[in-house]
Amino acid sequence: MLADTVLRWIEQTSLSSAIRQSDWAVMALEAVHLLGLALLGGAAVIATLRHADIRLRTFVRELRPVALTGFALMVLSGTLIALSMPFKYYNNTAFQWKMLLLVCAVFSTLRLARKPARVLALLSLILWLSVGFSGRLIGFL
Amino acid sequence: MALEWLYEQPWAVALRESENAYPLIETVHVLSIAIIVGTVVAVDLRVLGLILKTEPVTRVGRALLPTTWYGFLIMLLTGVPLFAAQAIQLYSNPAFRLKILLLALAGINALLFHRTTYRTVGDWDYANAAPISARAFAVTSIALWSAIIVSGRLIAVFHAR
């Protein structure tokens, strides 16, 4: 099977085995993943809510680098964690859901950015919360 | 002992034995910390003169800190039941102890900032970067909140099974 071959190849790369065999690498990467979430999630919440005195447009513009830094940290750390144990994550139902929901959430958000609409905003919010919940569930399965 | 009393509360037992409630509440707990840290770090970055430079410091604080307090409320409302359900194990967990200590330090840091440097905010409200003492408080705040997140993640590593 193709998937099997690719996963086996990933598992045998030196990057994957180095992270897997380290006592602290995955833990550190998970901590970075959460730090990224705090930056991205915090910036997203600020850019969503209405605030006293400061226009939303100002926040959206000024917090973009903060949000992008958080997103980059999450993608980088998340990818490395997944690569370290490709079979475990590929076969984890919560991980499969998370990836599916993540793709939906990204598309929904990109569409929302082009054409703001209340229903789409609500859908995006629910999708992102589901990404977070399925992410938390990975460790419970 | 209070710890055992809390541990044996029916709702704590129910949460401990539930399959989905614990990860669900944990997810909300993590998101509440994201709200707190995201808003606090945004204010800190303004004090450091890295973002929102066109807005005065007081205005940024007034706009964001109410959201921080909502996040704090959600953090407590989710954190207390999470603690109660695992009270005995968490009490002796070094990462949990460190997290509570760091939370207290973050609180003291914020309080000290408001009681000292922030009193003169009128002099540097519109300045790009705040005085060195204010910037030191901001850097300490970012460091403490980052460490709170890391120690929170470490709780699972030390958790007695």
Q: Do A6 and A20 sit in the same domain of this protein?
A: yes
Q: Do A49 and A80 sit in the same domain of this protein?
A: yes
What's the total number of domains in chain B? Answer: 1
Q: Do A79 and A97 sit in the same domain of this protein?
A: no
pLDDT at residue A52 in the model:
76
Chunk chain B into consecutive blocks of 10 residues (it has 161) and report each block's average pLDDT, rounded to whole numbers.
91 92 93 95 96 94 94 96 95 96 97 94 91 96 97 88 54
Residue A111 has pLDDT above 70, yes or no: yes
Question: By a Cβ cutoff of 8 Å, what residues of chain B touch chain A?
Answer: 23-24, 26-27, 30-31, 33-39, 41-42, 45, 51-52, 54-55, 59-60, 62-64, 66-67, 145-146, 149-150, 152-154, 156-157
Residue A85 has pLDDT above 80, yes or no: yes
Q: What is the distance between the alpha carbons of residues B20 and B36, in angstroms, rounded to a whole number?
A: 25
Q: Which residues of A touch B159 (CB under 8 A)?
A: none
Give me the domain span that covers residue A75: 1-87
Give me the domain span that covers residue B43: 20-158
Q: Do A82 and A111 sit in the same domain of this protein?
A: no
Q: Do A109 and A82 sit in the same domain of this protein?
A: no
What's the total number of domains in chain A? Answer: 2
* B72 within some domain: yes
pLDDT at residue B160 in the model:
65
H helices present in A2-139, as ranges: 2-12, 14-21, 25-48, 56-84, 86-90, 93-114, 118-138
* B8 within some domain: no
Q: Do A41 and A98 sit in the same domain of this protein?
A: no
Q: What is the mean pLDDT of chain A?
A: 92
**Nearest-CA residue of chain B relative to A65?**
B51
* B61 within some domain: yes
CB contact under 8 A, A62 and B24: no
Instruction: Tell me the shortest Cα–Cα distance from A6 to chain B, in angstroms.
Output: 30
Q: Which of A87, A107, A124 is the last residue of a domain?
A: A87
